Structure 1
Amino acid sequence: MVPGSTRNPSDYGPVDVDDVGGAAPIHVLHVDDDPARVRLSETFLDEHIDDVKVSTDTDPYEALERLDDLDVDCIVSDFDMGAMDGLEFLESVRERRPDLPFILFTGKGSEDIASEAISAGVSEYLQKGGGPEKYALLANRIDNVVSQYRAERAAERYQERVNTVYERVTDAFFALDADWQFTFVNEHGRELLDREKGELLGKNVWEEFPAALNSQFEDEYREAMVTQEATTFEAYYPPLDTLFEVHAYPSEEGLSVFFRDATDENRIRRELHREKELLERVLETSPVGIVVADSEGELVRANQRALDLLGLTEEEVKNRTYDSSEWQLTDEEGRPIPDEDYPFSDVFERGVSKTDVRVGYDGPDGEWSLLTVSAAPIHSADGDLERVVFSVEDVTEVRERQQELEAENERLEEFARTVAHELRNPLDIAGVRVDLERRERDAEHLEEAAVALGRMEDIIADLLALAEQGKVVDDPEPVPLERAFENAWSTAGTGAAYELADDLPTVLADESRLRELFENLIGNAVTHAGEDATVRLLPTEDGFAVEDDGPGIPASERERIFETGFSTAEGGSGFGLSIVERIAEAHGWTVDATEADDGGARFEVGDVQFVEE
């Protein structure tokens, strides 16, 4: 057999010049609520772009209605357009024309708008101003994005034509007679051999393709003719720099040869081999234990980390199933897990994944450890279960540390309760004595003493709250932020006002502690901003924020305001914001003090888990 040539892409037909830009006029839709601005764009764009058509609109809603009927190459849009801003307009455009170039050309420039525009997927962001040269720059940007857009569309259309041809292709074929002369070559064979049919028919294969002599091609063909047995092989033909897959069928009359270009397949096989080697290295060096089971639950593979965690050899693992009675599994408290509660049965029976399941494991050395196990099924293209992959991590030390922290918190609570008890008794007595004395005579120092005693009572209450709020929240529930805030406000006893954003989410939290977090932030706002303040609750990207319109927090003090006992208000206990921080940390949240847009104080709570409604 003689190998064939690769096919030239030009065989699939010429490329339309208009497909890659240049020949067709550039059609621009400019949307700006300033009529004078769009008139300027028509003038200057026509001056700087050789062949351009500019359509304009001062209303983004009308522009959207026209978009389906306009064959535009690019949209240029202002940002501030009244009822719909430029980014909202972009979002509506993307719903209709996902890939259409979109340039935000705005006089309202800021780093925030630029960042948001880029994140939203604008093709270019350009600020107005600067005179006619700004329109020259705009024209250049339009030309660039349209050229790229048209080139991409042309490439897609060209690829579609190529794919259509490939869908009709069958194997290349030629036939040789007993004298090794070509008797037939199909069209695909002609292409792969890079020769015209008339050049080959009736000609000797070894004379037309001399590089095939003394090669695997000659050896295989001659052996097939001698033995009269079919042969299949892969061989490389240097003149065409191509690897061919060949199927040759001999007869007394000659040889029938089916062949195809296998160069890419061989490359893919090499790449797959490299990928397999990479996965093997990742598997063996992973800090996480990996165990693989087949569809019947028999364990077929375990990496070294898994063997170390389980205290078994690879052979011992492979002799077990995922639910073998040899596994000594318990719950987190060390109690044996009944068969009916086995945590991974659903993975095999229903094809569902399991994540971060904690089980106790009695190893062969008698040591008990706490493991976190996740299991994920792998299905075939037909949806049949093929494999289940388990990941195993030892969290014994993590659990022990958690228990130590819980014990430490309990000790702190007990200490706080003891201190509160020991202080409250004498304070109660002192308070009664002061009250009796005030009844007998009116003295200014007695009034101050009563205030001081009340202040000490508040400090004790705050101390108890601070100790209580450090407990980790381990069973959060969905809580609407609006409800928790309004419940907190109802007990604030303030004449201040509050505002709630429209799109406040529902979060996972301990509702009573979230309410107390809001109570302390509200109290802090009223204390520092006054009774005529307005307190606002707003959503953020990863949580929520509470801000006021008061004097704000000096930058030099923002690092200290969460310290226990630190207060900038006269008579303040310095516990309120410490309690806020403890509640946030107990939920796994972060809390930061910053500045509101109007200069007031702003507290941002992040890393909050939202609940999809």
Structure 2
Amino acid sequence: MSESDGGTAAAAEVALDRMADGFVAVDREWRVTFVNERVSELLGRDNMPERGTSLWDAYPGLEDSPFGEAYHRALDTGEQQTVEAYYDHLDGWFRATVYPDDDGLSIYFQDVTQRRRLEENLRRENELRERVFETTPTGVVVLDADGVFRRANERATELLGLSPFDLGTVAFDDSRWEAFDGAGEPLSEYPVERVLETGEPVEEFEHGFTRPDGERRWLSVSAAPLHDSDGNVDRIVLVVDDHTAKRRLESRLRDNEATLRRVYEVAGDPELSFEEKLQELLSAASERLDVEIGFLTRIESDTQTFVETVGDYDPIQPGETCPLSEAYCRRTVESDGLLTVRDAESQGWAGTPPHDVFGLGSYVGGKVIVDGELYGTLCFADETPREEAFSDTEVTLVELLTQWVSYELGRRRSRERVERKNERLDEFASVLSHDLRNPLNVAAARVEMATETGDADHLADAAGALDRMDELIDDVLSLARHGERVVDAEPVAVGDAAERAWAGVGGSDDPDATLRLRDPPTVRGDESRIVQLFEKLLGNATDHAGPTPTVTVGRLDDDDGFYVEDDGPGVPTDHRDDVFDRGFSTDDDGTGFGLGIVEEIADAHDWTVRVADVDDGARFEVLAPVVEPFDG
């Protein structure tokens, strides 16, 4: 080597040492022929191989790594190779460029660990942002400066009704979306327009719109601009929340407030009767619940009667009846609280009598309790099923109305009891002031005459007057005792009660009097008062039917109750409306209270007693629910 060649080589080494890259030269036997100082800085002094050392010995595992594969490939092909990979031995990322020549390989490399870590962190950040963008429950949309949709996450496409084909082609104000304000008027300015005009963000702008598929929704839109390097709006980010449920809730709250106000006004209106109030409240609640039918039922024994109804539905009209087993109300009275049915068929009602008979798809109802006893039910229903279950607020409304009806019926019943008591007090006063005065005057006069004349016959007349006073007092006391409503009702066999009463009025001891039983039913009531009712009716028959009376007690047709019929002259047509009046009698020796007591006892059981129109004899019919049906 000449001095000039040596100088050139030395200059080259100096230049290589000053390089920013690490440099290693190897011959074709993989022996290190040169290493610059940068290798020491990059890999550390301990990892700087000496000349003549095998490259593979200096760096364990290097030959089997992507670097070794690239070095072999460069030497074999004579072509430059570039490789970037992770090297376990040095726990870092490196980038190497390999140049082959006749002597071997020149390897230039850089430690790119920091760059790769920055890139990995950036990749993870981007992946996180993308994951948040796609999975957030809020819709996110990116528009360009022309308002064209460029990106939209899955939630946004669902909310807005976008398709992948719309991105890049459709703008926010496209005619397929009909936007409107809170008053339902077309939107005068979109949030995007305000951002483009002012360059300032818009927060929580709420408006409604109709999607391309026709569905109406409410949105809360926040819009923020993104600026380019010149400060111009380059993109706009929209954050879109679905406020449809919120709007519906607000609407329901307003409806609830309006309904409760209407309930309060109607319930407190002193000018309306209970029936008028009930009609108003059934209508208001039906409208609020979005059902077509509302009704109040009366349940007696196993029969349901529709008392008041709203809605044009033929099977459910006032006065219509059905067996309780065929009604939804059967399950209602068995429930602790309200019975709610969102979709009758999906909830297992298909094929049951209530569903087959009435064909109702949805229902909510509760028990009406009066004086601690079941009166009936208050219910609301519709032929179609509901998309959603009855809400807690709707259930509370029905509970409130059920309690109101229970209270009003109880109050009306209490008022009727007070009125009956007042009527009885008036009757007592009449008896004391008039009916008792006559026999009392007779008794006093006869005693005075007996005293003056010594004639004992006058005392017999006085005793008769006193007996009449005693009879009057007994009847008045009976009115007082039996006018109270029956609370603890129990099954009573009509035939047994009639036979006891027949014995009580002396019919059993009279060989000329006959009592016939014609399949008498069983009813629910107070046994002692029912016996008293028969004593008055049977006693009336034996008093008016002649010396050989035949009295029949039997079951009314259609199980409507029972009757008492005699073979006497009957009740004169012009007196049939008067026979139950207190003090009315066609017998000079009668008190006129007997049939009044019968009516009082019937009223106390919520029964009805009437004089039937028959050709022969007198027939009194008592309309009362029968416990067991007649089999024929």
When normalised by structure 2's length, the TM-score is 0.38
When normalised by structure 1's length, the TM-score is 0.39
Structure showing greater Rg: 2
